[in-house]
C-alpha cells in the first residue's frame, strides 16, 4: 500500500503546467504540498471531480488535466467514466486513491472495498486503465501518466490517511478559482 502524502510529494516534483483537479482528502494533502494557481478544487457536490476535469480537459486541450479522485467520490459518479471514455480527451489522467473508505466523512468503509476500479474504468471504455500498489511502481510510471495520450485511468492502492481537519474554506475560496483563470489566460505554468 502507498502513503498518499508521500506519493503526492513525489508527484509534485514531476508536474509543471498541468491542471490538477483534487477533491476531499487528496485535495487536503495536495494543497499542503503544492499550493499553486493551476489547482482546481472540486467543490460543491461530492463525486464530480472527474466531471469538472472532463470539462477542463475539453476546454483546455493544450494542458494536461490530472484528477486526484477518491474511491468514495468516484462511486458517486461512476457514470462519468462512461462519459470520459466516449469523449476520449487525450489530455486527461484520472487517478483514484483507493483506501476503501469515505475518509473525509469519518473513515467509514465504502460499500465494497474489493471493488476493482480499474476494471470498471476498462469496462467503461478507458482502455489505458491500471492499478498500482507500491510507490516504487508509481515512480517508475509517473512519466507515462503525464505524457501518455489519454484518457488514462489509474487506481492507487493507498493507506487510510489521517482524519484530520480539512481546509475547505481555503481550498474553495473564489480567489483560487480566479487564480486558475488568470494563470490559464496568461499561459503561465
Partner 1 sequence: MATAGEAATAPLQKLHGANIIAAIKQSGVDHILSVPDLHTSQGVLRPISTDNHLKLIRVCKEDECIGIAAGLTYGNIRSLVLIQYTGFLYAINAIRGVACEQNMPICLMIGLLQKEPGVLPQNSKRFGLRIVEPMLDTLGIPHTHIETDDDVERIAPAIEHAYKHSHPTAILIGGRAI
Distance in angstroms (rounded) separating the CA atoms of residues 97 and 124 = 19
Our finding on whether 23 is near partner 1 (CB under 8 A) is no
Work out the number of other CB atoms within 10 angstroms of the CB of residue 107.
15
- By C-beta, is 49 or 110 nearer to partner 1? 49
Kind plus residue range of the DSSP H or E element containing 67:
strand 65-70
User: In the complex, what is the shortest distance from the CB of residue 121 to partner 1, in angstroms, rounded to a whole number?
Assistant: 14
Exactly one of 80, 91, 93, 99 binds partner 1 (CB under 8 A); that residue is: 80
User: In the complex, what is the shortest distance from the CB of residue 74 to partner 1, in angstroms, rounded to a whole number?
Assistant: 12
Our finding on whether 104 is near partner 1 (CB under 8 A) is no
Show contacts with partner 1 in window 151-180 (CB under 8 A). 174, 177, 180
CA distances from 164 to 46, 97, 176 (A): 18, 17, 22
At 98, phi and psi to the nearest 5? -105, 110
Closest listed residue to residue 22, CA positions, set 183, 180, 130, 184:
180
List contacts with partner 1 (CB under 8 A). 40, 42-45, 47-60, 77, 79-80, 82-83, 86-87, 174, 177, 180-181, 184
Amino acid at each position: 500500500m502507498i502513503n498518499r502524502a508521500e506519493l503526492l510529494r513525489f508527484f509534485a516534483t514531476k508536474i509543471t503546467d498541468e491542471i490538477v483537479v483534487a477533491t476531499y482528502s487528496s485535495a487536503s494533502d495536495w494543497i499542503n504540498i503544492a499550493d499553486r494557481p493551476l489547482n482546481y478544487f472540486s467543490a460543491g457536490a461530492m463525486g464530480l471531480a472527474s466531471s469538472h476535469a472532463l470539462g477542463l480537459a475539453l476546454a483546455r486541450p493544450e494542458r494536461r488535466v490530472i484528477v486526484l479522485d477518491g474511491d468514495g467520490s468516484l462511486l458517486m459518479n461512476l457514470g462519468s467514466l462512461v462519459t470520459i471514455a466516449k469523449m476520449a480527451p487525450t489530455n486527461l489522467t484520472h487517478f483514484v486513491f483507493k483506501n476503501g473508505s469515505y475518509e473525509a466523512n469519518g473513515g467509514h468503509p465504502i460499500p465494497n472495498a474489493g471493488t476493482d476500479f480499474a476494471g470498471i474504468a476498462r469496462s467503461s471504455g478507458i482502455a489505458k486503465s491500471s492499478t498500482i500498489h507500491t510507490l516504487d511502481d508509481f515512480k517508475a510510471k509517473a512519466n507515462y501518466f503525464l505524457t501518455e495520450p489519454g484518457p488514462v485511468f489509474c487506481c492507487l492502492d493507498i493507506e487510510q490517511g489521517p482524519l484530520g481537519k480539512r481546509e475547505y474554506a481555503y481550498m474553495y475560496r473564489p480567489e483560487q478559482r480566479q487564480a486558475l483563470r488568470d494563470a490559464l489566460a496568461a499561459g503561465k505554468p
